[in-house]
Amino acid sequence: MSVGRELVYGRQPVREVLRGRREVLELWVTERALAAEPWLQESTRPRPQVKADGVIEESAGTRDHQGVLAFCEPYRYGDALALAQGGGAGAGSGADPGAERPLIVVLDQVTDPHNLGAVCRSAEGAGATCVVIPKDGAVHVTPAVCKTSAGAVEHIPVAIVTNIARYLEEIKGPDLWVWAADQDRGTAPWQADLAGGTALVLGAEGKGLRPLVRRSCDGAIAIPLAGKVESLNVSVAAGVLLFEARRQRST
């Protein structure tokens, strides 16, 4: 793949990248995918190029391409501070119109692309402002993340910061409360005030939040579990918290 362009594969991710902010440079499809998806037939910028399944699989590096591959300009990361200050600017399709009430997801040490993709999908669906990840020790937006997010990364900003703890100290205040997801102890989501400006900070499974990140939070939030497992997958936990925040903001 040439320098200066990235690939996106899968029918839904490619459909969303065509609807999003990135310029799509080339669009490769199999005859089967072209016949099955009317939106591919309607694409003119760029026009689909019919390729053999094996050619697409080799370029995608996976069999999970569903017969559709796009080469596009590199992913555009958001400005984490500006998004926290601007609230709804650039947020997902169901975003809270109140710019004074940002809803931010901050992920610490999440290295699994499937988890990042799933969190982005939930965040976009809940109308969150953005997803923030660290520069080092974490996965960034990759083709696998695009695929798992079902294209949501094309509509919700993902921002990178050098230091998560410092970022939290910079954005928190009377109008934005920072909640650490801490399964060992914390307030139940429906008892926490998530209706105002909110940052939800979640760590990777097995690692949790680093101590300095945890100390930078205003409070802790925990999802009560009724079964025998001790914790939820980070993407599932993020979904629960995001939609509880959405519920509170809708009442």
Q: Which CATH architecture has domain 80-250?
A: 3-Layer(aba) Sandwich (3.40)
Which pLDDT belongs to residue 207? 78
> What is the third-level CATH fold of 6-72?
60s Ribosomal Protein L30; Chain: A; (3.30.1330)
SS3 state at 4? coil
The Cβ-side half-sphere exposure at 206, using a 13 Å CA radius, reads 3
DSSP SS3 for 202: strand
Within 10 A of 50 (CB to CB), how many other CB atoms are there?
A: 11
Q: Where are the domains of the chain?
A: 6-72, 80-250
Which residues of the chain are under the pLDDT cut of 50? 1-2, 87-98
Check if 6-72 and 80-250 are the same fold.
Answer: no
Q: What residues pair up with 103 in beta bridges, in sequence order?
A: 198
What pLDDT is recorded for position 103?
Answer: 97
Radius of gyration of the chain (CA): 19
Query: What pLDDT does 1 receive?
Result: 45
The structure's pTM equals 0.91
Q: What is the pLDDT of residue 109?
A: 92
Question: Looking at 119-163, which runs of residues are DSSP E strands?
Answer: 130-134, 158-161
Which pLDDT belongs to residue 99? Answer: 52
- Residue 186 has a pLDDT of 86
